[in-house]
């Protein structure tokens, strides 16, 4: 079974600064997908960024980027130029490469951006 | 383009009762998955429906059951409610087996069992 661990229950960052959220996972699979989801107070899970394990290049989406270390089974999220709207719960999630497999989530990190 | 819609948004039930939660997937999506998110936890997979059949199931008791209709909408039913069933129930939709692109989630139904 796969497990996802987020070791930082809470973090805070000053507006316009950079913050990195950590995620480690355990799997015996060689091919899989990793995701970061954002859950604001509205409760909807919003996809932030996606990484395919067979791609060595780290994914980037505007101010969001990841540091994917496959051998170390580490998948951290970097948020640059933090904005007040980034305040939310952030969940790291794993999914096998084969079809119709569920997401396995970590427990989340609560990020607060301070003005 | 409507996203995933869930109803109701909030619900209070008494122990032992039964509850039905509803989900309409994003337009063009045909697969619906349900997740339970307890307070302070990440979502846990309950089950997934595709072509009106349950395709996969997580580690949840038979008190949790579901259904998918021909229009791809779905229901989650929970019988004999326990206090521990209090949680946010999230519905996520996707297109067939191309879920590697990620799911689209609704805003959830907050169920409180008293």
Q: CA B54, CA B27: separation in Å to the nearest integer?
A: 20
Measured in whole angstroms, the distance separating CA B97 from the mean position of its chain's CA atoms is 18
Going by the DSSP 8-state scheme, the letter that residue A54 receives in this structure is: T
Residues of B in contact with A46 (CB under 8 A): 105
What was the pLDDT predicted at B16? 97
> Would the pLDDT of B89 be above 90?
yes
10 Å CB burial of residue A32 (0-12, 13-18, 19+) is buried
> Would the pLDDT of B98 be above 80?
no
How many CA atoms does the CB half-sphere of B86 hold within 13 Å? 11
Which residue on chain B is closest to A49 by alpha carbon?
Answer: B102
Taking CA atoms, A18 is separated from A10, A75, A113, B75, in Å, by 15, 17, 10, 41
Which residue on chain A is closest to B49 by alpha carbon?
Answer: A100
**Could you write out the DSSP letters of every residue in B30-98?**
-EEEEEEE-TTS--EEEEEEETTEEEEE-S--TTEEEEE-TTS-EEEEE-S--GGG-EEEEEEEE-TT-
Shortest Cα distance, chain A CAs vs residue B72, angstroms: 16
Q: Which two tokens stand for residue A73?
A: 């089974």
Q: CA A29, CA A12: separation in Å to the nearest integer?
A: 33
B25-77 per-position pLDDT tens digit? 999 899 999 999 999 999 999 999 999 999 999 999 999 999 999 999 999 99
A19-61 per-position pLDDT tens digit? 999 999 999 998 899 999 999 988 889 999 999 998 889 999 9
Torsion of CA B26, A85, A23, B36, to 10 degrees: -40
What was the pLDDT predicted at B1? 57
Does residue B95 or residue B84 have the better pLDDT? B84
Q: CB distance from B101 to chain A under 8 Å?
A: yes
Residues of B in contact with A42 (CB under 8 A): 107
Q: CA A108, CA B87: separation in Å to the nearest integer?
A: 16
Which residue on chain B is closest to A105 by alpha carbon?
Answer: B42
Q: Do B102 and A100 touch (CB under 8 A)?
A: no
Mean pLDDT value across residues A66-90: 97
Residues of B in contact with A44 (CB under 8 A): 105-108
Q: Do A44 and B33 touch (CB under 8 A)?
A: no
The closest CB to that of B97, out of A93, A100, A107, belongs to: A100
What was the pLDDT predicted at B49? 94
- Mean pLDDT over the full length of chain A: 94
Residues of A in contact with B102 (CB under 8 A): 33, 35, 47, 50
> Would the pLDDT of A99 be above 80?
no
Residues of A in contact with B33 (CB under 8 A): 102
Mean pLDDT value across residues A62-66: 97
Pairing between β-strand A109-114 and β-strand A10-14 as defined by DSSP bridges = parallel
What was the pLDDT predicted at B97? 61
Residues 36-95 of chain B whose Cβ lies under 8 A from any Cβ of chain A:
40-45, 48, 50, 55-56, 58, 88, 90, 92
């Amino acid at each position: 079974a796969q497990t996802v661990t987020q070791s930082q229950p809470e973090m805070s960052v000053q507006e316009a600064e950079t913050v990195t959220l950590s995620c480690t996972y355990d799997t015996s699979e060689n091919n899989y997908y990793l995701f970061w989801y954002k859950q604001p107070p509205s409760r909807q899970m919003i996809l932030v960024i996606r990484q395919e394990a067979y791609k060595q290049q780290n994914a980037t989406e505007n101010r969001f980027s990841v540091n994917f270390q496959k051998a170390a089974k580490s998948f951290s999220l970097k948020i640059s130029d933090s904005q007040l709207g980034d305040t939310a719960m952030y969940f790291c999630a794993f999914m096998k490469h084969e079809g119709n497999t569920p997401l396995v989530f970590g427990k989340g990190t609560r990020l607060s951006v301070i003005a | 383009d409507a996203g995933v819609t869930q109803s109701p948004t909030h619900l209070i039930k008494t122990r032992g009762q039964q509850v039905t939660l509803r989900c309409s997937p994003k337009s063009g999506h045909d697969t619906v998955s349900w997740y339970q998110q307890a307070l302070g936890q990440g979502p846990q997979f309950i089950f997934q429906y595709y072509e009106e059949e349950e395709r996969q199931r997580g580690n949840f008791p038979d008190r949790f059951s579901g259904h998918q209709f021909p229009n791809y909408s779905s229901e989650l039913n929970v019988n004999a409610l326990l206090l521990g069933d209090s949680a946010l129930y999230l519905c996520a939709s996707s297109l067939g087996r191309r879920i590697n692109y990620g799911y689209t989630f609704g805003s959830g139904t907050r169920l409180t069992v008293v």
